Amino acid sequence: MTNKIHDLIIIGSGPAGLTAAIYAARAQLKPIVISGNEPGGQLTITTEVEDFPGFPDGIQGPELMERMKAQAEKFGVEFIPGEVTVANFKDRPLAVNVGEIKYESKSIIIATGASARWLNLPSEQKLIGRGVSSCAVCDGYFFKDKDVAIVGGGDAAAKEAIYLSKIARSVTLIHRRPELRAQKILQERMRLNPKIIFELNSTVEEVLGDNTVSGIKIKNLTTGDIKNISLAGVFVAIGHSPNTKVFREQVECDELGFIKSVDGVKTSVEGIFVAGDVFDRKYRQAITAAGMGCKAAMEAEEYIESTS
């Protein structure tokens, strides 16, 4: 089944996708938004958001996304539930499938985000947003003068450990290997920081706590010893996976699967634009994703006008 040819399809409904939808709708492009398998994006599993402008008292992540969606709906944006299962960017019009339904468009914005990699412990999954986080910049402030842990051994984990050491009382870094993978300069900074404690060659066996994190149980892989550490927060920093599987044969991606951007939010395919964490490996913030969504919508409007 094929619908009419749309001016613009936006894939993803996080801050990038919804901001793009608001701008595109106001430009009379009548965009449709394919919501994805996680409508609202990662903010829907976040509790209080204090760093999004305009909310001096903070706002719950799910509420922020509901407000953004309501604003898009006010301007007539249509939302399609489900996720893209097939994409064809090699022919014109551009096309994507959601299940058996094919949608064709003059232009597409990919804003499918990136998913944090988790330890996949039942106890961890239960406490995401209740002391378990994947973003120190987003949630570190809530752990001022408290004890926290970072899980990971790469640059991201090292940077988050250093960042958290400025806020928390102590930071325990847990890594499954005897050596860290982070740059030597970052390792040196951590070792000179009295607030950072190392638990190397160790794995997290369980996140402790009923409604909020109260500690972790770790296992030393050399000795087999098990011990509990009391703390208030656990930050998992073992990387992000971009949600690009269906697009990797259609648009140029880097070695990790993140979409490559050209001149801002353009991609290797004319008429295809990108916004948010699906290509942003550095900042990964709601506000930067929203800004990119704005740029992508404006570029899409210009492209559609130039090809009409």
Contacts of 200 (CB under 8 A, 6+ apart): 153, 174, 175, 177, 178, 179, 180
Catalytic-labelled residue, pool 7, 139, 147, 280: 139
| Per-residue pLDDT at 283 | 87
Tally of CB atoms within 10 A around 194: 8
Give CA–CA dist 233/128, Å, rounded.
Answer: 10
Give CA–CA dist 202/16, Å, rounded.
Answer: 37
**Mean pLDDT to the nearest integer, 227-250:** 96
The fold for domain 118-236 equals: FAD/NAD(P)-binding domain (3.50.50)
Contacts of 131 (CB under 8 A, 6+ apart): 207, 209, 212, 213, 232, 233, 234
| Per-residue pLDDT at 1 | 52
Tally of CB atoms within 10 A around 268: 14
Residue ranges per structural domain of the chain: 2-115+240-307, 118-236
Q: Catalytic: 138?
A: yes
Query: Which SS3 state, helix, strand or coil, does residue 233 take?
Result: strand
Q: Catalytic: 277?
A: no
pLDDT tens digits, residue range 171-188?
999 999 999 999 999 999
Mean pLDDT for the chain? 95
| Per-residue pLDDT at 298 | 98
pLDDT tens digits, residue range 53-84?
999 999 988 999 999 999 999 999 999 999 99
| Per-residue pLDDT at 137 | 85
Higher pLDDT among residues 197 and 115, named by residue: 197
CATH (residue range 2-115+240-307):
3.50.50.60
The model's confidence at residue 2, banded by pLDDT at 50, 70 and 90, is low
Gyration radius (Cα) of the chain, Å: 21
pLDDT tens digits, residue range 210-225?
999 999 999 999 999 9
> Percent of the chain beyond pLDDT 70?
99
DSSP 34: E
| Per-residue pLDDT at 194 | 97
Region of poorest pLDDT, from 71-80, 111-120, 269-278: 111-120
pLDDT tens digits, residue range 81-102?
999 999 999 999 999 999 999 9
Model confidence, pTM = 0.82
Catalytic-labelled residue, pool 7, 91, 135, 225: 135
> Percent of the chain beyond pLDDT 90?
88
| Per-residue pLDDT at 43 | 86
| Per-residue pLDDT at 157 | 94
Q: Catalytic: 294?
A: no
DSSP string across 166-213: TTSSEEEEEESSSS--S-HHHHHHHHT-TTEEEEESEEEEEEE-SSS-
| Per-residue pLDDT at 47 | 72
pLDDT tens digits, residue range 119-165?
999 999 999 999 999 989 889 999 999 999 999 999 889 999 999 99
CA angle, 107 then 108 then 111, to 5°: 155
| Per-residue pLDDT at 130 | 95
The residue count of the chain comes to: 308
pLDDT at 228 over 60: yes
**Mean pLDDT to the nearest integer, 259-275:** 96
Q: Is 210 exposed, middle or buried (0-12, 13-18, 19+ CB in 10 A)?
A: exposed
Give CA–CA dist 22/74, Å, rounded.
Answer: 9
Catalytic-labelled residue, pool 57, 91, 138, 210: 138
**Mean pLDDT to the nearest integer, 262-291:** 94
CA angle, 258 then 259 then 264, to 5°: 125
| Per-residue pLDDT at 281 | 86
